[in-house]
Amino acid sequence: MNSIPSVDLKDFLSEDPAKKGHFVKSIGKAYEEIGFVALKGHFLDDTLVDNLYKEVKNFFELPLAVKQKYEIPEIAGQRGYVSFGKESAKGKKEGDLKEFWHFGQYIKAEEKEKYGYPDNVEVAELPDFNKIGKETYQMLEKTAKYVLRALALHLNLNETYFDDYIRNGNSILRPIHYPPIKQEPKEAVRAAAHGDINLITLLMGAQGRGLQVQNHKGEWLDAIAQPDELMINVGDMLSRHTNNKLKSTIHRVVNPPKELWSTSRYSIPFFMHPVSDMKLDVLSNCTDENNPKQFEDITAGEFLTERLIELGLIKK
């Protein structure tokens, strides 16, 4: 496959069984072959998207000393601000050329103790940043639920198989700022080649060149979404759970041509995680004599901890 297929979630949500079936077949084929799709028909409206980008830019334009008030190393960057160059891809010693923020799950007060997630960090200077971030988080989580329902049908599982695992899941909304590049980077890029940790990732801001996806031949393809599309890819947890039937594709964000170094880039991924005790054991219907089980049993929480150590966000 040499391009990213486009699908429309409205087909899956329609009352037409043929349209719904076509969506399931199309997204399943794309995730088996390249691991990425561009999705129209999601639950984000234009006003919400415009307001989010405005608030994200407002935050990253704050003085560094103000932003650093919201950096909390003891929770391994799970909430709040992570400063420039702190995160590196697995196997890379150079930090990526980015700073970012993490919004996490919104848990009812009576359930907080059960899940043990850190509280979301409130930016006192920008109350709308907190409000718009929460609304975006919930709309992307809703979109992700229906994408996972389509994938459950593709895998011959009950349509709502993933629902209980993602309710109050450890998902993250990450607004990223790639600042202007001021000098020739030695080895670093905006985001080095990597696979995502989670079940699926929903990416806002993939318009224009920068994001690249590696196909099975090892070729890098530009992944460019239309303004009304989200780019959605399979993460390592889902790939592992399906015995690599659904592909977690390596991708990267390359540095722009030198004439564009003076420009910022913003991108906003939503990392859909399940609850920590979800077993990622290989599904029995994803193995046969030609495709034996490839992965050891592990929970989502154990797998996440392993990967955060590899990324340098948790110290051993």
Residue found by looking up tokens 């004439």 in the block: 259
Nearest to 107 by CA among 138, 82, 70, 136: 138
pLDDT at 140 over 80: yes
CA dist 133 and 70 (Å) reads: 15
Give the predicted TM-score (pTM) of the model: 0.90
Q: What angle do CA 225, 231, 236 make, to 5 degrees?
A: 150
Q: How confident is the prediction for the chain on average, in pLDDT?
A: 88
What pLDDT, in 10s, does the model give residues 113-128?
888 899 999 999 999 9
The structure tokens listed for 77 are: 């960057």
For the chain, the structural domain boundaries read 6-310
In the CATH scheme, what is the code of domain 6-310?
2.60.120.330
Mean pLDDT is highest, among 95-104, 107-116, 141-150, 212-221, for: 141-150
The structure tokens listed for 196 are: 């995502």
Backbone φ and ψ for 269, nearest 5 degrees, come out as -85, 150
Cβ neighbors of 280 (< 8 A, separation 6 or more) are: 237, 240, 241, 295, 297, 298, 299, 300, 303
CA dist 4 and 71 (Å) reads: 36
pLDDT at position 84: 79
pLDDT at 27 over 50: yes
Comparing 66-75, 154-163, 177-186, the range with the smallest average pLDDT is 177-186
Between these two residues, 105 and 91, which has the higher pLDDT value?
105
3-state secondary structure of 260: helix
pLDDT at position 216: 78
Give the pLDDT band (50/70/90) at residue 255: low
Q: Classify residue 181 by its DSSP letter.
A: P
pLDDT at position 165: 97
Positions of E strands within 60-110: 80-82, 99-102
pLDDT at 95 over 70: no
pLDDT at 90 over 60: no
Could you tell me if 21 and 11 are in contact, meaning their C-beta atoms sit under 8 angstroms apart? Answer: no
pLDDT at position 123: 97
CA dist 18 and 25 (Å) reads: 10
Cβ neighbors of 261 (< 8 A, separation 6 or more) are: 180, 181, 182, 255
The structure tokens listed for 50 are: 């415009």
Give the pLDDT band (50/70/90) at residue 109: confident
CA dist 301 and 204 (Å) reads: 26
pLDDT at 197 over 60: yes
The structure tokens listed for 110 are: 């009576």
